[in-house]
Amino acid sequence: MTSYAIGEVASQLVMSVDTLRYYEKIGLLPKVGRSESGIRRYQNKDISRLRFIKRAQQMNFSLAEIADLLTMREDPHHARTEVRQLTANKLTQVEARLDELNTLRKELTLLLNLCAASDRGCPIIAKIDADESEK
């Protein structure tokens, strides 16, 4: 079975090794298997769990919330009602963020098309400057 050293995992997931050790220390990640010489060896299931943690953190979910979501992830059929409700709430949050990102995508596409149409300078820079001065 393929396994990875902590440095490889840190590089793959763009996380620090300290963060990986910390997650294991606080129980967000179950104890990682060790080689005979005592070096951590991460399995694919560990990396999958870490990717989930990273995505959830990017949505500003707390570590406590992420811990609950992970119990749901491990065993959705036996999750507590509160955890199911938390999962539903977080899904709503993610969908709202997707809507925002979609609007931003459309706005940036529009601005780039404006830029492409112009041979008199780029409106994108002008808009960024205008927004900055409004703050």
Q: Where does this chain bind another protein (CB under 8 A)?
A: 103, 106-107, 109-111, 113-114, 117-121, 123, 126-127
Give whichever of 94 and 123 is closer to another protein, judged by the CB atom.
123
Q: In this structure, what token pair is assigned to residue 123? A: 């409106």
Q: Taking the complex as a whole, how short is the minimal distance between the CB of residue 107 and another protein, in angstroms?
A: 5
Q: How far is the CB of 116 from another protein (least distance, A)?
A: 9
Q: Which is nearer to another protein, 64 or 125 (CB)?
A: 125
Identify residue 34 by its one-letter amino acid code: R
Using the minimum distance from each CB to another protein, give the nearer residue, 17 or 114.
Answer: 114
What is residue 27's three-state secondary structure? coil
- Could you tell me how many residues make up the chain? 135
The CA-atom distances, in angstroms, between 74 and each of 6, 23, 51 are: 23, 17, 14
